[in-house]
Amino acid sequence: MRVIKRSGNHWFGIVNYLFLMLTGIICLIPFIHIVSLSLSDKAAVLGGLVKLWPVHFTWEPYSYVLERTAFWRSFGITLERVLIGAGLNIVLVILLAYPLSKPSHKLRLRSVYVWIFFFTMLFNGGLIPNYILVKELHMLDTIWALVLPGAVSVFNIILLLNFYREVPSELEDAAYIDGAGHMRTLWQIYVPMSLPAIATITLFCIVGHWNAWFDGMIYMKGNHYPLQTYLQSIVIKFDFNTMSVSEAQRLAKLNDRSVKAAQMIVAAIPILLVYPYLQKYFVTGIRLGSVKG
């Protein structure tokens, strides 16, 4: 911590606090509004009367969501996907970043490997070949279609390998002399020393899987949509032009902003719960390579 007293401008300090507070409030207002919508009576919401406080307070939208099987089914699928998907992501990233963090003289073909991984960040075959592949692997409409194609995240490998590089090579050499192989060195030296980065990456993976929607729409049947795909189909796709008349009639009857709001809130809560725990690692956990000036 810096303890030097800096000759400060008192007014600047106050203005600064006020400004930051104001920004914070502005950032929060949309969420407060949505929470208010979700706790208000249908008619008040439809008439546009709800602002930053619920009007005709009611829990009804939430009890409605609680009873909505489809919502919880999607919720469960997303939970499964986060557990399997993020777990796989992390194991792979820990394993892959280790060899790639070594200089070329310690790992032959390193630059070939690096190019192999790097290239995939830029080129992809497009939707149709991916779909055909997933179909040929018999993974359509299974959790693996959501988990395996994105299991290797090159971006996260970069994050972690730059962390690994900070580990003093003396430690590794000492371990080698003790007879430890690479696996043990990785688990006993590298992983413990990179915990902040691993925590950060864990958060990225959890959030990434929680928020993914497009693959769910492409690979899953409607009754197996993950949560965000489900939300997308009810909150955002509301295009009467592409809809059959019977569908339009059904939706006209159901158009209900407060229930939509309640579903968005419930879908955001898990993230709200996870991220403060992992937040403290951010500042140390994000290091995009080393800069030697």
Stretch 152-191 residues interacting with other proteins (CB under 8 A) = 152, 158, 161-162, 180-184, 186-187
Q: Which of residues 119-158 bind other proteins (CB under 8 A)?
A: 120-133, 135, 137-142, 144, 148-152, 158
- Quick one: which segment of 167-175, 189-197, 263-271 binds other proteins (CB under 8 A)? 263-271
Which of these, 85, 71, 94, lies nearest to 223 by C-alpha position?
A: 71
DSSP class of residue 25?
Answer: H
- The contacts of residue 176 (CB under 8 Å, 6+ apart) are 185
Rounded to the nearest whole angstrom, what is the least distance from the CB of residue 72 to other proteins in the complex? Answer: 10
The tokens for 52 are: 């930053």
Comparing CB distances to other proteins, the nearer of 170 and 292 is 292
Q: Is 207 in the site for other proteins (CB under 8 A)?
A: yes
- Tell me if 217 sits within 8 A of 225, measured CB to CB: yes
Dihedral over alpha carbons 23, 54, 39, 58 (to 10 degrees): 160
Q: Is 60 in the site for other proteins (CB under 8 A)?
A: no
Cβ atoms < 10 Å from Cβ of 172 = 19
**CA–CA separation, 190 and 195 (whole Å):** 9
Rounded to the nearest whole angstrom, what is the least distance from the CB of residue 59 to other proteins in the complex? Answer: 18
Which residue in 11, 170, 178, 288 binds other proteins (CB under 8 A)? Answer: 288
Helix (H) or strand (E) holding 55: none
Dihedral over alpha carbons 58, 62, 66, 67 (to 10 degrees): 50
Rounded to the nearest whole angstrom, what is the least distance from the CB of residue 231 to other proteins in the complex? Answer: 5
Q: Is 66 in the site for other proteins (CB under 8 A)?
A: no
Q: Is 53 in the site for other proteins (CB under 8 A)?
A: no
Q: Is 205 in the site for other proteins (CB under 8 A)?
A: no
Which residue in 168, 192, 271, 277 binds other proteins (CB under 8 A)? Answer: 271
Q: Is 11 in the site for other proteins (CB under 8 A)?
A: no
